[in-house]
Amino acid sequence: MQITFKLFASLSDYLPPDRKGNVLSLQVAEGTTVQQMIRDYRIPEMSAHLVLVNGVYIPPSARADRALTDGDELAIWPPIAGG
């Protein structure tokens, strides 16, 4: 299945160097979870602060069970703020 994977701010360093922007379009196995994506891309747990699937926040306790589905957009930020 195909998903869109987005890493922002300092997490963009975990994207492949030849990527353009902060977005990757990926083929992943059925049943891949949010937690697996975080681990596969070696994102430190503490840095995966704001984790959104299709814009909806996924709390740390739900990431291991949240399976992605075709067309999902997974976006992750480190701790950030603004105003």
Partner 1 sequence: MAWTRKILRVNLTAGTCTEEPLNMQWAQDYLGSRGLASKYLISEIDPKVDPLSPDNKMIMATGPLTGTMASTGGRYTVVTKGPLTGAIACSNSGGFFGAEMKFAGWDMIIFEGKSPKPVYLFVENEKAELRDASHLWGKSCWETEEIIKSQHQDPQIRISSIGKAGENQVLYACVVNDLHRAAGRSGVGAVMGSKNLKAVALRGTRGVGNVKDFPAFMKATNEAKKVLHDNAVTGQGLPKYGTQVLMNVINEIGALPTRNHRDVQFEDASKISAEAMHEKRESDGKTHLVTNAACFGCTIACGRISEIDKGHFTVKNSPKYWGASGGLEYEAAWALGAANGVGDLEALQYANLICNEQGMDPISFGATVGAAMELYEMGVLTAEQIGIDSPFGSAEALAKMVEMTAVGEGFGKELGMGSKRLCAKYGHPELSMSVKGQEFPAYDSRGIQGMGLAYATSNRGACHLRGYTVASEVLGIPVKTDPLATDGKPELVKAFQDATAVFDSAGICVFTSFAWTLADVQPQLDAACEGEWTMDKLNEVGERIWNMERMFNNAAGFTAKDDNLPPRLTQEPAKTGPAKGLVNGLAKMLPEYYQVRGWTPEGEPTADTRQRLGL
Q: Which residues contact 37 (CB under 8 A, 6 or more apart)?
A: 5, 28, 68, 74
Q: Interacting stretch for partner 1, rule CB under 8 A, among 24-32, 34-42, 69-77?
A: 69-77
Residue 53: HSE in the Cβ half-sphere, 13 Å Cα cutoff: 20
Least gap, CB of 1 to partner 1 (angstroms): 20
Q: Which of residues 21-50 bind partner 1 (CB under 8 A)?
A: 21-23, 46, 49-50
Strands 2-7 and 73-77: parallel
Q: Which is nearer to partner 1, 31 or 54 (CB)?
A: 54
Please report whether residue 56 would count as binding partner 1 according to CB under 8 A: yes
